[in-house]
Amino acid sequence: MQKRYMPQIKVLLIMISFFLSSFISCQYSFKVSVTPDDGFVYYNGDIIANNTTITASQPSLTVHAYRDGYNPMTVFFSSGSPFSVANAVITLSKKTYRITVDVIEGVSEAIIDGRVHGTTPLTLRLTQGRHSLVLKRNDYPDAETYLDVSSDKRYTFRQKENPSLGRQIGIFPCGSQPKQVIFSPDNNYLFIVLLDGKGFQIFDVKHLEMTAYVDVGQHTRYKSFVEGLFIKETHSFIVSQMTTGKLIEYNLQDVFHTELKRIIDSHGRWPKFFAYSPVLRKLAVSNWTSNDVSIIDYASGNLERKLGPIVVPRGIAWSSDGKFLYICSFDGGRFYKYDTESWKELAQVYRPSAAMRHVVLSSDNRMCYVSDMFHSLIYAVDAETFKVVHVYRVFNNPNSMEISPDDRYLYVSCRGPNNPKSYLLRSPVNGKIYIIDLKERKVLSKIDAGNQPTGLDLSSDGRILAFSNFRDDRNFELYDMSELTGY
């Protein structure tokens, strides 16, 4: 009997031994998922894809999960069985930030994400991401915009008396008397040139915060910085200083590490505007009080020639092929066209008592648009015939202009009427930004601005409009024009 069952007993013992060894050396499976789907999961120092199944030799698992704008988590999971897959589900929670919403003048009711939260100034906590904002006030149109929340921040707006195109991104503090604003070539930063400051400031457009104040005055010992210009191929930024007659150039490989490159003499008195031709590799500088325009070889910084006399030159522009240079004469009432091979004057537009301030060209070089501050007009000039083909009436004292990338819209900063005592004082009426539809030949919209909006620029993709309120003294504004441009 004992011998008869011995083989079966041996087989049973072998099977028990096999199952015991399998149980002892078994693997545990965990299916790891994270919400939101684009979150990251770390296991044993490696990033694993969402909804990945992990095998472990122990009945427990520790993973780390994170995503920008969410609170990171370290999570411990356990499994009771080696014969099934345990679901390891991680749900990340959004970070919250302290947000203050305010308006420049008066008090407005703030509706955020469809809910009334109170009146300005209002402070609350909001989660990471975009939130809708509506500002309401009796007898004013609703101001609809949004808050892109990514850190603790203060947002300041203007409750406008008149409806306009574009959504306010905000009004932001800066140094004294912001004269000009210029987007960096990648549109990530805005450079603010300060007439009553030591140089220029650099503003992070994505994060809506000031990142740097470059002290140009330490090299020149004066203020009065007027205009700025990027030279893409050399990663440079140049700023003009009116009182010293200098152009100060900085290396800008990294906006956080600006380095003085050189100081270029304008060879004139009170340089105002200046422009660069990448085809000719030359700078043209309008010298306000010496009544001439300097043509400077960019590589060497040497003066090549002077154009003039031109009575109080201001705005200048090169044609994109470098064949022509266009010059505004502020006190002379003239707009000039020069040939850059012979450097001879080819044609001019004359308007009695006009104050030609700024010029921009269409991308095909066929049209020039010139602002006349005295008559509050914008002249559309055919670049070939050099005749005025259309005139737009705008608000008082139009100065800086920009044209959209598709040549459809012209943006004009209008300072408003001069103070009766002096144009150097605050205007009695705030200024406006005009938006002109060049295809339909009409004023499309007006944006209520601050006191004497002067500097103006449009991002190269046409999406963001920036302008400075010169006599509000210490602020500039950003508008999202995506709904107009379709970008």
Q: Which contiguous run of DSSP H or E holds residue 97? A: strand 96-103
CATH number at residue 82: 2.60.40
Cis, peptide link before residue 278, omega less than 30° from 0:
no
First to last CA, the chain: 92
Q: Compute φ and ψ for 342, nearest 5 degrees.
A: -95, -15
Domain boundary among 48, 75, 91: 91
Locate all alpha helices (DSSP H) within 302-410, ordered by sequence.
none
pLDDT one-digit tens code per residue, 139-160: 999 999 999 999 999 999 999 9
Question: How many angstroms separate the CA atoms of 346 and 328, rounded?
Answer: 14
What's the pLDDT at 485? 75
Residue type present at position 221: R
Is 426:392 a contact under the CB 8 Å cutoff?
no
Residue 163 has pLDDT above 70, yes or no: yes
Whether 331 and 350 have beta carbons less than 8 Å apart is answered as: no
pLDDT digits (tens, 9 = 90+) for 203-227: 999 999 999 999 998 888 889 999 9
Same domain, 143 and 207: no
302 with 416, same domain: the answer is: yes
Residues 241 and 189 in one domain: yes
Contact 333, 352 (CB under 8 A): yes
- Domain membership flag for residue 392: yes
One domain for residues 234 and 355: yes
Task: For residues 229 and 343, state if they share a domain.
Answer: yes
* Tens-place pLDDT, residues 231-242: 999 999 999 999
In a domain, 10, yes or no: no
Is the domain of 86 the same as that of 204?
A: no
Residue 432: CB partners within 8 Å, gap ≥ 6?
395, 414, 416, 446, 447, 448, 449, 453
Rounded average pLDDT over 86-93: 92
Which tops the pLDDT comparison, 104 or 257?
104
Coil/strand/helix, residue 407 = coil
Residue 403: inside a domain: yes
The DSSP line for 221-254 is S---EEEEEEEGGGTEEEEEETTTTEEEEEE-SS
Q: Which of 66, 91, 116 is the last residue of a domain?
A: 91
Are 229 and 278 a contacting pair, CB within 8 Å?
no
Which of 157, 180, 208 is at the close of a domain? 157
Does 376 lie in the same domain as 298? yes
Residue ranges making up the domain that contains 76:
27-91
Confidence of residue 6 (pLDDT cuts 50, 70, 90): low
Q: With respect to residue 21, please indicate whether it lies within any of the assigned structural domains.
A: no
**Do 84 and 102 sit in the same domain of this protein?**
no
Determine the pLDDT at residue 4: 57
Q: Pull the structure tokens for residue 44.
A: 């044993």
Q: Tell me the C-alpha distance between 143 and 131, whole Å.
A: 14
CA pair distance 299, 378, nearest whole angstrom: 35
Q: Is 378 domain-assigned?
A: yes
Q: Is residue 360 part of a domain?
A: yes
User: Considering only CA atoms, which of 172, 294, 272, 290 is closest in space to residue 224?
Assistant: 272
* 273 & 137 share domain: no
Closest CA to 281 of 305, 297, 269: 297
Residue 182 and residue 297 in one domain: yes
Instruction: Please report whether residue 18 resides in a domain.
Output: no
pLDDT digits (tens, 9 = 90+) for 251-275: 987 777 889 999 999 999 999 999 9
In a domain, 373, yes or no: yes
Same domain (yes/no): 53, 150: no
**Is pLDDT at 19 greater than 50 in this prediction?**
no
Regarding whether 336 and 476 lie in a shared domain, the answer is: yes
Amino acid at 37: D
Instruction: Say if CB 265 and CB 246 are below 8 A apart.
Output: yes
What average pLDDT does the structure give for the chain? Answer: 92
pLDDT score at 272? 92
Tell me the two tokens of residue 429: 């009426």
What's 208's domain CATH number? 2.130.10.10
For residue 70 the two structure tokens come to 């969410």
Total number of domains in the chain: 3
If you ran DSSP here, which 8-state letter would residue 142 be given? -
